[in-house]
């Protein structure tokens, strides 16, 4: 049951807080504030349920706030603010706003923690992916197989781009996602015993022949250029995804999903399950 209608807490689009929230639609604004926006009941509920650092929950006054979400927000000590429809439209980027968004603090987990954690044995490393939908799908697939983390190299699309966030379907709150200089992190990962795997159309070895029950970091690259030469030189293995049809290659998100589920299949087959 939605919370009963009350007079909006904020009614003017010129309000300073509204300007701050609207600024989070821009990458520079997000970097300055150290926060980002999520829109829609599903994403907001997922963030609250996962214990994400939600600063403020903003909802449209004439639609109200679902009772269960209001209870969870209160229990977590999250500020709730009601606003007018024009404010909701100002602070969201969808054509038809869903009537609710939240301001969430950016996590600040250093990439080096992945090397110190022996459990970080299946990691996706994203090297220059540009499409926010592809990035979101990669994160969702990583979450689906229980991957340890996702690493975003320099030149990769902003994780907090609204389309990227929507494409994750909430998975960005389920596993660590860190930004790193791959020229520093990948050599350290190799030294720590992780195998660094890249896909290549010129590779001779099938991904299905590679033992991915070992600690594995999968490096996936730009939609047009693939993995950068610099990152490719740091690989311990180059593999190809065999295809029986006439398609030349797979979309990067699809290819990543194939690799992740092959790693998952091997691990399940090698377990006592």
The full length of the chain comes to 273
Cα separation of 162 and 219, whole Å? 24
C-alpha 123/C-alpha 142 separation (Å) is: 8
Topology agreement, domain 16-105 and domain 112-269: no
Return the half-sphere exposure (C-beta side, CA atoms, 13 A cut-off) of residue 99: 10
Checking phi first, is residue 224 left (phi over 0); if not, alpha (psi -120 to 50) or beta? alpha
What's the mean per-residue pLDDT of the chain? 92
Distance of alpha carbon 182 from alpha carbon 200, whole angstroms: 18
* In the predicted structure, residue 77 carries a pLDDT above the cut 80: yes
Chain segment 135-187, per-residue pLDDT in tens: 999 999 999 999 999 999 999 999 999 999 999 999 999 999 999 999 999 99
Instruction: Strands of 84-225 (E only): list them.
Output: 100-105, 122-127, 149-153, 177-180, 195-199, 205-206, 216-221
Q: Residue ranges per domain, the chain?
A: 16-105, 112-269
158 vs 155: CA distance, rounded Å: 9
Fold of 16-105: 60s Ribosomal Protein L30; Chain: A; (3.30.1330)
> Which residue in 168, 167, 197, 177 sits closest to 258, CA to CA?
197
Cβ-based neighbours of 11, under 8 Å, separated by 6 or more: 83, 84, 87
Q: Which of 114-121's residues contact partners 24+ apart within 8 Å by CB, and which partners?
A: 114/148, 114/149, 114/151, 114/176, 114/178, 114/185, 114/189, 115/185, 115/188, 115/189, 115/192, 117/148, 119/148, 120/148, 120/149, 120/215, 121/148, 121/194, 121/214, 121/215, 121/216
* pLDDT of res. 202: 84
pLDDT in tens, 90-148: 999 988 889 999 999 998 878 888 887 776 699 999 999 999 999 999 999 999 999 99
Q: How far apart are the first and last CA of the chain?
A: 41
Instruction: Count the Cβ atoms, other than its own, within 10 Å of residue 169.
Output: 15
Cβ 92 vs Cβ 44: under 8 Å:
no
Entry pTM: 0.91
CATH number corresponding to 112-269 = 3.40.1280.10
The string of pLDDT tens digits covering residues 207-258 is: 999 999 999 999 999 988 889 999 999 999 999 999 999 888 889 999 999 9
Report residue 48 as tokens: 């609250």
Whose CA is closest to 111, among 177, 64, 161?
A: 177
Give the C-alpha separation, 38 to 104, whole Å.
7
Q: Tokens representing 96? A: 């038809």
Q: pLDDT value at position 5?
A: 52
């Amino acid at each position: 049951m939605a919370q009963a209608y009350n007079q909006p807490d904020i009614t003017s689009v010129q309000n300073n807080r509204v300007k701050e929230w609207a600024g989070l639609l821009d990458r520079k604004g997000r970097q300055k504030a150290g926060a980002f926006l999520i829109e829609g009941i599903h994403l907001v509920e997922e963030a609250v349920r996962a214990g994400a650092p939600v600063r403020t929950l903003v909802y449209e006054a004439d639609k109200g706030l679902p009772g269960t979400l209001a209870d969870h927000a209160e229990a977590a000590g999250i500020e709730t603010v009601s606003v007018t429809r024009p404010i909701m439209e100002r602070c969201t980027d969808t054509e038809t706003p869903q009537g609710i968004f939240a301001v969430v603090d950016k996590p600040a987990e250093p990439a080096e923690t992945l090397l110190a954690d022996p459990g970080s044995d299946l990691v996706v490393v994203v090297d220059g992916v540009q499409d926010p939908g592809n990035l979101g799908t990669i994160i969702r697939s990583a979450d689906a197989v229980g991957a340890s983390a996702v690493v975003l190299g320099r030149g990769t699309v902003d994780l907090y781009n609204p389309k990227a966030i929507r494409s994750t379907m909430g998975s960005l709150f389920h596993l660590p996602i860190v930004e790193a200089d791959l020229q520093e992190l990948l050599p350290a990962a190799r030294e720590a015993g992780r195998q660094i795997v890249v896909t290549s159309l010129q590779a001779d070895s099938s991904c299905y022949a590679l033992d991915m029950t070992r600690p594995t970091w999968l490096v996936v690259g730009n939609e047009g250029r693939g993995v950068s030469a610099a990152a490719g030189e740091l690989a311990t293995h180059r593999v190809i995804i065999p295809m029986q049809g006439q398609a030349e290659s797979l979309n990067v998100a699809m290819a990543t999903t194939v690799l992740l589920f092959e790693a998952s299949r091997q691990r399940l087959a090698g377990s006592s399950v």
